[in-house]
Structure 1
């Protein structure tokens, strides 16, 4: 069973959030205030090998819909909205394709790319850089983790001209830093596996996901053109393949998809 945390309104509309890579359930803290405003009960599970969920060696994207269904059954929830940021995106497509009866609507925030062909480097590099990131992120006083999160949040605000009164979590940078650290609780094996999973060739899921959209499951994407982590063109390709609407931000970056567009997506899902 996946370990999870809940944010927002306990009596609100249930929405399950799939965190980024690396990341953990703590990422939901950045959306806690927005979830309360939207009347959303935000449920954020740790994926296997990250946070408090045990590692599952060799897991594949095709395993996720059954895991997702078990989570909902354990919570006693029949249907939910699904929100996903970055590396959580392919997992959202997987449940839309294979468990559409449990999904009410889907919001994708700068989802990991739908690639016409997966480069060999995408499968090799996680084994190289994730162990290094793990050692750094798990150091309790490693300042660059928090500094990077603070920089990303500040850049998201500045580029989108978000006024300080906008109800983003005041500690959003610290929340993201803690989420990344927590993602390496068990070491690099879980994040490495997660990178390999999201870099699988998951294009075959798209026709089934498109069928769910055609049958009435609303899907919306948010992606900024200044995103240097996941290219904007990937969301254009995915939105077209799914028949979904893309909210196209000229100035938004990768962090802005979560911190700035996330509240709008929660309102859509509610």
Structure 2
């Protein structure tokens, strides 16, 4: 087993068949060797928007408690993963499947938090049922065709502009959080920038970020620094993916009973609960679990409950 307090950098990478680099990290349970690790209950974690695989550190302790190995993957354009200018939301599932093969993991679950949610749904579409044990979406983003009412203004601006002018979104990111992330002379600037942003968030989110001496804020800071280390092109491209029609419809998803679980906070202003409810209504068989008193950071304060549910999905203990 890994150290219960381990948050050391565990970045690894593979070269995909098309020559691209895919970066990832591992958290939670670990085996004595690669063969033993491959037999552990495993879930692939997809980070938020923008972000990187460093977010996996935030659920390390809960995953360890429940004996789950977490493999966090940085999407193309983030944290050393090569850009893929032709990628779609569902095509990322093929990268995940190739990584699973590389790690000799036959059956696994996927979990998408916030902007990682669409990619978890894409895996449900593209990964064979005999490989995919379950899909979990926490505080996930859904198609903008559902409407952006009740969503915070900055997100509405991003998702409305990005399909038409991704270069402008890249410029805005590079002028703000990207510049802070790349300021090696003043590394404290990024954390201060994130702190300032959270001051305008609901108290439910501030409470989670400030807990345990700001441990989650430190993880977010590392995640963002990695996300923008090569610039904002990855984030801008992804904003356009989210703002444009997705390459699949929610009604297409082959939802199997007990294998798609959606968690969402009632106080979420990044992605309002209304969007999650409307999305779930289109996915016949999806289970919606609403935490009425939580915000967008639900995935980082209900980690024990979520990891327990994830373990049940993988092991089919329901």
TM-score range, shorter chain: 0.7 to 0.9
Is contact 2:88–2:247 with CA below 8 Å preserved after alignment?
no
**Compared with structure 1, are the counterparts of its residues 171 and 91 closer, same or farther at alpha carbon in structure 2 (3 Å cutoff)?**
same
Q: Which residue of 2 aligns with 1:173?
A: 217
Q: Which residue of 2 aligns with 1:28?
A: 56
Is contact 1:20–1:85 with CA below 8 Å preserved after alignment?
yes
Match of 1:66 among 86, 89, 94: 94
Aligned residues, how many?
262
Q: Which residue of 2 aligns with 1:240?
A: 281
The TM-score, its normalising length taken from structure 1, stands at 0.86
Q: Which residue of 2 aligns with 1:115?
A: 144
**Compared with structure 1, are the counterparts of its residues 144 and 107 closer, same or farther at alpha carbon in structure 2 (3 Å cutoff)?**
farther
Q: Which residue of 2 aligns with 1:130?
A: 173
Distance 2:162 2:221 in 1: 24
Distance 1:74 1:182 in 2: 23
Structure 1 gap segments, 5+ residues each = none
The TM-score, its normalising length taken from structure 2, stands at 0.74
Distance 1:205 1:68 in 2: 20
The CA RMSD over aligned residues, in Å, is 2.8
Matches within 5 A, 1:45-124: 45-101=73-129, 102-116=131-145, 120-123=160-163, 124=165
Q: Once the 2 structures are TM-superposed, how far is the Cα of residue 57 of structure 1 from its aligned partner?
A: 2.3
Q: Which residue of 2 aligns with 1:15?
A: 43
Q: Once the 2 structures are TM-superposed, how far is the Cα of residue 85 of structure 1 from its aligned partner?
A: 0.6
Is contact 1:32–1:169 with CA below 8 Å preserved after alignment?
no
Question: 1:183-217: per-residue Cα shift (whole Å, max 9, x none)?
Answer: 012111111112222333127332232x2x23x46
Q: Once the 2 structures are TM-superposed, how far is the Cα of residue 71 of structure 1 from its aligned partner?
A: 1.1
Is contact 2:109–2:135 with CA below 8 Å preserved after alignment?
yes
**Compared with structure 1, are the counterparts of its residues 117 and 253 closer, same or farther at alpha carbon in structure 2 (3 Å cutoff)?**
closer
Is contact 2:44–2:109 with CA below 8 Å preserved after alignment?
yes
Indicate the structure (1 or 2) with the bigger Cα radius of gyration. Answer: 2
Structure 2 gap segments, 5+ residues each = 1-15, 17-21, 32-39, 148-158, 312-318
Q: Is residue 251 of structure 1 aligned with residue 251 of structure 2?
A: no
Is contact 2:111–2:135 with CA below 8 Å preserved after alignment?
yes
Q: Is residue 6 of structure 1 aligned with residue 26 of structure 2?
A: yes
Q: Which residue of 2 aligns with 1:38?
A: 66
Distance 2:81 2:189 in 1: 26
Q: Once the 2 structures are TM-superposed, how far is the Cα of residue 258 of structure 1 from its aligned partner?
A: 2.2
**Compared with structure 1, are the counterparts of its residues 62 and 113 closer, same or farther at alpha carbon in structure 2 (3 Å cutoff)?**
closer
Q: Is residue 267 of structure 1 aligned with residue 308 of structure 2?
A: yes
